[in-house]
Amino acid sequence: MAKEDLSPDREESETIYKEFKKLRKTLDACARFVGYEVTIPTFKMNWRSYAIIAISVVFVMGSFYTIYEGLFIGGDWMVLLQCTCQAGAAFQSIAKIIFYIKDRRFLWEILDILDATYEHERCGEHYKRCLQEDFQLIKLWMKGFGILYCIVVLLCVLFPLIYYILYKKKLLMMTFLVPGMNPDTTYGYSLLTSFHFGCMVCGGVGNYAADMYLLFFISSAPVSKNILRCKLHDLDVKLDAFKSHNQISSQEIREDMVKIVTWHQKYLRVLECSERVFFVIIFVEIVACCVSNLSLLYCILRGDWPSAKVYIFYSISTFMMYCTLGTIVDNSNLDFMDIVYNFRWYDLPLSEQRIMLFMLRRSQATSGLSVGKMMPLNMQTALQLSKSTYTVLMILLRGKETVD
In a domain, 62, yes or no: yes
What pLDDT, on the 0 to 100 scale, is given for residue 87? 80
Burial of 249 (0-12, 13-18, 19+ CB in 10 A): exposed
Contact 202, 52 (CB under 8 A): yes
In a domain, 7, yes or no: no
What pLDDT, on the 0 to 100 scale, is given for residue 11? 45
In a domain, 10, yes or no: no
In a domain, 246, yes or no: yes
Domain count of the chain? 1
In a domain, 127, yes or no: no
pTM to 2 decimals? 0.87
What pLDDT, on the 0 to 100 scale, is given for residue 290? 92
What pLDDT, on the 0 to 100 scale, is given for residue 384? 94
Q: Which backbone phi and psi does 375 adopt, to 5 degrees?
A: -155, 150
What pLDDT, on the 0 to 100 scale, is given for residue 98? 92
In a domain, 132, yes or no: no
In a domain, 389, yes or no: yes
Q: Report how far apart the first and last C-alpha atoms of the chain are (Å, whole number).
A: 62
What pLDDT, on the 0 to 100 scale, is given for residue 402? 61
What pLDDT, on the 0 to 100 scale, is given for residue 101? 92
Q: Which residues of the chain have pLDDT under 50?
A: 1-13
Q: Is the dihedral of CA 173, 176, 181, 185 positive or negative?
A: positive
Domain carrying residue 300:
27-117+139-403
In a domain, 188, yes or no: yes
Residue closest to 235 by CA, chosen among 115, 130, 121, 126: 126
For residues 234, 240, 242, 245, the Cα torsion angle rounded to the nearest 10 degrees is -140
